Amino acid sequence: MIQRGLLVVLSGPSGAGKGTVCKSLLPSTEGLSYSISCTTRAPREGEMHGVNYFFLTPERFEEMIGNDELLEWANVYSNYYGTPVKYVEDKLAAGENVLLEIDIQGALQVKRKYPNGVFIFLIPPSLEELKKRILGRGTETEESFKLRFGAAAEEMEYITEYDYVVVNDEVEKAVEKIRSIIVAELSSVKRNREYYMKLIREGQKDAVSFD
């Protein structure tokens, strides 16, 4: 009896450091793999179908939307991006844990379709620090900063839609916490009821024999 894998959704306001945390988390966590997205944008030099993305035609992508074959999707600068249900579902059924790094709107879409996921909100250590990180990119006018920072502050309100909050003060600490969350969730009774019920039934049979 294989224990079903977890869908781990790492999300949070822009500037929280989701990408950096994922890059460190993935290679160092056994049994965790990255969810490969679908997109209609053209492959870049060196990108491979089924490795970096599933590269699809707009027609095929729209068909997937129509057939409800995507956990979430968005259209960014006229390109579609989305997470294929079947790819994720196959991995989970095989007992693999799947990591989805995604913005808040995407995470909320996933939650509606797969409330059983583990929803982690990554935040910068303080809004002061977030301010520094946004300004540190050096590309901001006062106008665009206010827009981005204001958006991030507003996005904080979505915390209550999530299961966990991890403060990204140091990448390695944040990674360690996410790894702990995965271990804990895999040990949770609510996720393993069926398995434990089987244990109990076996136990009651065994209890009658001494040898």
Chain positions 136 to 175 lying near a second copy, rule: CB under 8 A, are: 142, 145-146, 149-150, 152-154, 156-157, 159-160, 162-166
Q: How far is the CB of 89 from a second copy (least distance, A)?
A: 25
CA distances from 174 to 21, 107, 132, 180, 187 (A): 7, 19, 19, 10, 20
Which residue lies nearer to a second copy by CB, 42 or 200? 200
Q: How far is the CB of 146 from a second copy (least distance, A)?
A: 6
By the rule CB under 8 A, 180 interacts with a second copy: yes
Q: How far is the CB of 76 from a second copy (least distance, A)?
A: 24
Return contacts of 154-161, CB within 8 angstroms, 24+ apart.
155/12, 155/13, 155/14, 155/104, 156/13, 156/123, 158/104, 158/108, 158/121, 159/121, 159/123, 161/107, 161/108, 161/111, 161/119
Q: How far apart are CA 97 and CA 189, in angstroms?
A: 17
Task: Please pick, from the candidates 4, 18, 111, 177, the single residue that binds a second copy as defined by CB under 8 A.
Answer: 177
Contact footprint for a second copy (CB under 8 A): 121, 123, 127-128, 131, 142, 145-146, 149-150, 152-154, 156-157, 159-160, 162-166, 176-177, 179-181, 183-185, 187-189, 192-193, 196, 199-200, 202-204, 206-208, 210
